[in-house]
């Protein structure tokens, strides 16, 4: 008996017009690498002999990438260009791609070609064997500085320890999702999104493939230290309340030590008749406790801020238009994800 993920096992019908595979590619200022990215993805997909679509999502590029994508969409029937109204961030662009993908399986990869499209056949093979999610774990990270590799190594392991959810380490957005997994993700309403955590939250049968990550094919990374730090903070606060518990524990320890120190001073004054001098130590204690309080307030602010963002219920993204050959011209689509 064939697994349910085998497209040949499904009955023929009107849905045959839909693609079997969708490749979602978020794009932000990748003009230099887009032609190569398109050629390599198209070559791999054609070799599979399955109906497919390539869904490029332009996240408000300002270097001409959006026009390049529109040109591709108007010359290749298998290409769709979803152009967002402005830059909403990679997590939102990735969500827009999943929302617009029509395939029975959806492959997500970056436009910079650090994730080789040539691994797609292996991913499809695992999907056809029954996996709802095929994750690609990085065995090596060529072209990245030792500092970035070290930070990534520490972050993934800290997040794994903090989170009650087993988020895989050394695993990015490069993966395959079954239609069932995509439909589950589309039902998630949160606006503050850490996609790697959401992928892990789904919990459907998963197959892991090791690969060596390549250097960028062209251009430079759009991520800087501040952006990566913000994403890391998003990951921690989205899937763990451990920082709040830690701050509470530090506060309890500080209060206990402070109380014991206060009792010691009172006892020494009452029973030994000594006046305890020590303005420097007092200042040090006050400074320490003030720092703990400010840290606690800042951490609480992060969680309260997430509640504030969620409560406004704004769309996660707004689509300017969708370009594809069957329409002949761009289809206005000024709507967002509700």
DSSP class per residue in 178-194: EHHHHHHHHT---SS--
Count of C-beta atoms within a 10 Å radius of residue 292: 16
Q: What pLDDT does residue 241 have?
A: 62
Query: By the 8 A CB rule, do 105 and 176 touch?
Result: yes
- Distance between CA atoms of residues 254 and 118, nearest Å: 55
Residue 240, pLDDT score: 63
Q: How do strand 52-58 and strand 79-84 relate by DSSP bridges?
A: parallel
Predicted local distance difference test score (pLDDT) of residue 13:
47
pLDDT tens digit string along 81-101? 999 999 998 889 999 999 999
Q: Which of 163-172, 179-188, 221-230 has the highest mean pLDDT?
A: 179-188
DSSP category for residue 143: T
Backbone angles phi, psi at 172, to 5 degrees: -100, -145
Residues 201-243 have pLDDT tens digits of: 888 999 999 998 877 766 555 555 565 566 566 666 666 666 7
Q: Which pair of tokens denotes residue 161?
A: 């320890």
User: Between β-strands 318-324 and 331-336, what pairing exists: parallel, antiparallel or unpaired?
Assistant: antiparallel
* pLDDT at residue 312, rounded to an integer: 73
Measured CA to CA, the distance from residue 287 to residue 281 in angstroms comes to 10
304 exposure class (CB count in 10 Å sphere: 0-12, 13-18, 19+): exposed
Residues 114-153: tens digit of each pLDDT: 899 999 999 999 999 999 999 998 888 766 666 666 776 6
Higher pLDDT, 169 or 319: 319
Looking at residue 191, what is its pLDDT? Answer: 78
pLDDT of residue 163: 67
Q: How many CA atoms, within 13 angstroms, populate the side-chain half-sphere of residue 309?
A: 15
CB atoms within 10 A of CB 191: 17
How does 63-98 read in b/e, with b if 16+ C-beta sit within 10 Å? eebbebbbebbbeeebbbbbbbeebbbbbbbbbbbb
- Residue range 53-60: mean pLDDT, rounded: 96
* The pLDDT of residue 337 is above 80: no
When the pLDDT of each residue in the chain is averaged and rounded to a whole number, the result is 79
Residue whose entry in the numeric block shows the structure tokens 């300017």: 320
Per mean pLDDT, which range of 35-44, 78-87, 187-196, 200-209 is the poorest? 187-196
- pLDDT at position 334, please? 47
- The three-state secondary structure class of 171 is strand
Gap between the Cα atoms of 131 and 176, Å rounded: 9
Q: Which is higher by pLDDT, 200 or 34?
A: 34
Q: How far apart are CA 104 and CA 36, in angstroms?
A: 26
Instruction: Provide the pLDDT confidence category of residue 15 given band limits of 50, 70 and 90.
Output: very low
Q: What is the C-alpha to C-alpha distance for residues 169 and 178, in angstroms, rounded to an integer?
A: 21
Q: Is the pLDDT of residue 9 over 60?
A: no
Write the pLDDT tens digit of every residue in 245-304: 677 677 777 767 766 776 777 777 777 666 666 665 676 677 677 777 777 777 777 777
Hey, what are 306's tokens? 């997430």
pTM metric for this prediction: 0.72
Return d(Cα 255, Cα 269) in angstroms, integer: 21
Residue percentage of the chain with pLDDT more than 70: 69
Could you tell me if 287 and 309 are in contact, meaning their C-beta atoms sit under 8 angstroms apart? no
Sheet containing strand 21-27, edge to edge, reads: 206-213, 133-141, 171-178, 105-108, 21-27, 52-58, 79-84, 318-324, 331-336
Three-state SS for 223?
Answer: coil
| Per-residue confidence (pLDDT) for residue 55, from 0 to 100 | 97
Band (pLDDT 50/70/90 cuts) for residue 329 is very low
* Residues 102 and 19 sit within 8 Å (Cβ to Cβ): yes
Q: Which pLDDT value is given to residue 14? A: 45
For 177, the 3-state DSSP assignment is strand
Instruction: Write the DSSP symbol of residue 275.
Output: P
- Name, in order, each residue with C-beta under 8 angstroms of 331's C-beta and a sequence gap of 6 or more: 321, 322, 323, 324
pLDDT at residue 38 tops 60: yes
């Amino acid at each position: 008996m064939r697994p349910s993920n085998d497209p040949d096992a499904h009955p023929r019908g009107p849905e045959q017009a839909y693609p079997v595979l969708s490749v979602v590619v978020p794009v932000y200022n990748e003009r230099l690498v887009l032609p190569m990215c398109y050629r390599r993805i198209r070559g791999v997909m054609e070799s599979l002999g399955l109906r497919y679509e390539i869904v490029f999502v332009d996240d408000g590029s300002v270097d001409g990438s959006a026009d390049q994508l529109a040109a591709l969409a108007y010359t290749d029937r298998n290409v769709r260009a979803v152009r967002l109204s402005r830059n909403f961030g990679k997590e939102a662009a990735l969500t827009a791609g999943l929302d617009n993908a029509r395939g029975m399986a959806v492959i997500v990869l970056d436009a910079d070609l650090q994730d080789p499209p040539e691994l797609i056949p292996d991913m499809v093979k695992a999907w056809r064997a029954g996996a709802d999610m095929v994750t690609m774990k990085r065995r090596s990270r060529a072209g990245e500085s030792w500092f970035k590799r070290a930070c990534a190594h520490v972050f993934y392991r800290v997040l794994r320890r903090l989170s009650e959810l087993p988020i895989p380490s050394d695993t990015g957005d490069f993966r395959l999702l079954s239609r069932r997994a995509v439909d589950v993700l589309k039902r998630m309403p949160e606006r503050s999104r850490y996609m790697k955590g959401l992928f892990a939250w789904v919990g459907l049968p998963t197959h892991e493939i090791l690969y060596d990550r390549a250097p960028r094919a062209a251009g430079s990374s759009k991520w800087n230290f501040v952006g990566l730090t913000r994403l890391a903070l998003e990951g921690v606060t989205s899937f763990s309340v451990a920082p709040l518990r830690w701050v509470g524990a530090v506060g309890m320890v500080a209060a206990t030590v402070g109380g014991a120190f206060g009792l010691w001073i009172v006892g020494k004054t009452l029973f030994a008749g000594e006046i305890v001098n020590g303005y420097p130590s007092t200042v040090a204690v006050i400074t320490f406790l003030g720092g703990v309080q400010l840290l606690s307030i800042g951490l609480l602010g992060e969680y309260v801020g997430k509640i504030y963002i969620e409560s406004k219920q704004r769309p996660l993204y707004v689509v300017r238009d969708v370009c594809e050959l069957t329409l002949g011209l761009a289809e206005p689509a000024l709507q967002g994800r509700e």
